[in-house]
Amino acid sequence: MTDFAPILPGATIGILGGGQLGRMTAMAARSMGYDIQVLDPDPQCASRAIASRTITAPFTDVEAAQELARGCAVVTLEIEQIARPVLDAVAAIAPLRPGADPVYIIQDRVRQKRWLAEHKFPVGPFHEADSAEAIADAVTRFGPSIAKACHGGYDGRGQVRLASPEGATDAWRALGGRPCLVEQRIDIAVELSVLVARRPTGEMVAYPPSRNHHTNGILTWSVIPAELPDALVAAAEALAPAIAERLGLVGLLAVEMFFTTDGQLLVNELAPRPHNTYHHSERASATSQFEQLVRAVCNLPLGAPQVIAPGAIVNLLGDVWLHDTAPDVPFALGVSGSRVHLYGKGEARPGRKMGHLSAVGDSAQEALGRALASYRRLSPEAAVAAGLAGPPPALRAADGALLAELAAVSRGESAPWQGPADSDPDREDVG
């Protein structure tokens, strides 16, 4: 039975995972008077500085996770790759929020896609592959595709792009000869995401969409508000809570979406935790995603999600530290409205998320321009390498196909998503 008693400040919150997402959640929890304990395989994990106790153990260690749960009023997580026996063992001792089932569905890419399709949520064409031949078959059918490892890949890892079936053997090998998901490459007009918070009572709030830009599968920048037509915003803001409710998840759910060049709104992937595309919420939103997670898992009233100042972030990957010139933090901070966020990770590796720059402004365009200007000042070499040395992208004046589709949405000629399929036979059973 769900326990609706609020978990009050002074209590201890456990977090499975101690990376940057746990660290920023822990900071918010500390501000609200909670204590924090974390479990992470890395003894030097980013949350260590904030947590009162760090248990060093792999995400498969049931006994270590039980030890964490015994000391906590509630346990949440900041990475979804936690073994199912660990999730179940924790849930038997303390409330596990988001819940073992939603995490189990989301943590495997094939299971997640299958679940979305079965529940009639809009997804692009995909195929499950357990051999090089199966990958080749999928690419023959789909054309240009992307193969993604079912498990363990995040931040662009465990993904291989395929232009033709000839690449299948190499892709299969590169993914370690393990089952994978093959997705047709989509013609994307806009990448966006919506963050939802859900309490044990079922109450939800959805944040306005964030507009995102990825390079090689890793987020480069995010900006809010997304500067998209109202109809598209409304469709995205309805889609994400419908998924959270159907999953029966408690905590945060980030839904990454594509708006395609032919006017469809598709779900790309789900994350049952704080998300990189809402790091601007610390500055741009009435309630940051990290505070919101604490409120949701402690069953406190959810905070307002609205934008109080247009905001943007640019990620700082390990590459920034690997160029000849050291990052110039003082110069970067000279940009009006900018702030630097560093995660305290000891080792800079290419593609590793080490921190981000944020900026606020009078408009989304200004906030993004400032965050990118700050990035160019921090590391001109990294800006050139990341393709961010030129003028900032114009959020309102994109290419012709996008403008045509967005105009059709604005005129009401195209509906990006029609709402949950009420005829879904097992609608009642989930939640």
Binding region for ligand AIR (CB under 6 A): 17, 19-22, 78-79, 154-155, 352-353
Closest approach, Cβ 272 to ligand AIR, in A, equals 10
Please identify, using beta-carbon distances, which residue of 23 and 377 lies nearer to ligand AIR: 23
Please identify, using beta-carbon distances, which residue of 143 and 156 lies nearer to ligand AIR: 156
Q: Is 41 exposed, middle or buried (0-12, 13-18, 19+ CB in 10 A)?
A: middle
- Residue 214: beta bridge partners? 219
Angle (CA) 277 26 307, round 5° = 40
Residues 6+ apart with CB under 8 A from 307: 208, 224, 225, 284, 285
Look-up of token digits 């232009």: 163
* C-alpha neighbours within 13 Å on the C-beta side of residue 11: 19
**Cis status, amide bond into 327, omega within 30 of 0:** no
H or E stretch covering 252: strand 251-260
Please identify, using beta-carbon distances, which residue of 59 and 142 lies nearer to ligand AIR: 59
Please identify, using beta-carbon distances, which residue of 295 and 345 lies nearer to ligand AIR: 345
Please identify, using beta-carbon distances, which residue of 227 and 269 lies nearer to ligand AIR: 269
Please identify, using beta-carbon distances, which residue of 19 and 369 lies nearer to ligand AIR: 19
Neighbours of 164 (CB within 10 A): 12
Closest approach, Cβ 104 to ligand AIR, in A, equals 16
CA–CA gap between residue 311 and residue 255 (Å, rounded): 19
Closest approach, Cβ 29 to ligand AIR, in A, equals 15
Tell me if 221 sits within 8 A of 163, measured CB to CB. Answer: no
Closest approach, Cβ 273 to ligand AIR, in A, equals 7
Closest approach, Cβ 257 to ligand AIR, in A, equals 17
Instruction: Pick the closest to residue 209 from 194, 197, 219, 227 (CA basis).
Output: 194
Instruction: Pick the closest to residue 296 from 210, 209, 202 (CA basis).
Output: 202
3 state SS for 66-125: HHHHHCCCEEEECCCCCCHHHHHHHHCCCCECCCHHHHHHHHCHHHHHHHHHHCCCCCCC
Closest approach, Cβ 40 to ligand AIR, in A, equals 7
Closest approach, Cβ 200 to ligand AIR, in A, equals 23
Cα dihedral 151/156/162/167 (nearest 10) = -70
Closest approach, Cβ 18 to ligand AIR, in A, equals 6
Q: Which residue is nearest to ligand AIR (CB)?
A: 19
Tell me if 416 sits within 8 A of 235, measured CB to CB. Answer: yes
Please identify, using beta-carbon distances, which residue of 125 and 318 lies nearer to ligand AIR: 318
Please identify, using beta-carbon distances, which residue of 20 and 145 lies nearer to ligand AIR: 20
Closest approach, Cβ 258 to ligand AIR, in A, equals 19
Please identify, using beta-carbon distances, which residue of 86 and 231 lies nearer to ligand AIR: 86
Angle (CA) 344 348 351, round 5° = 110
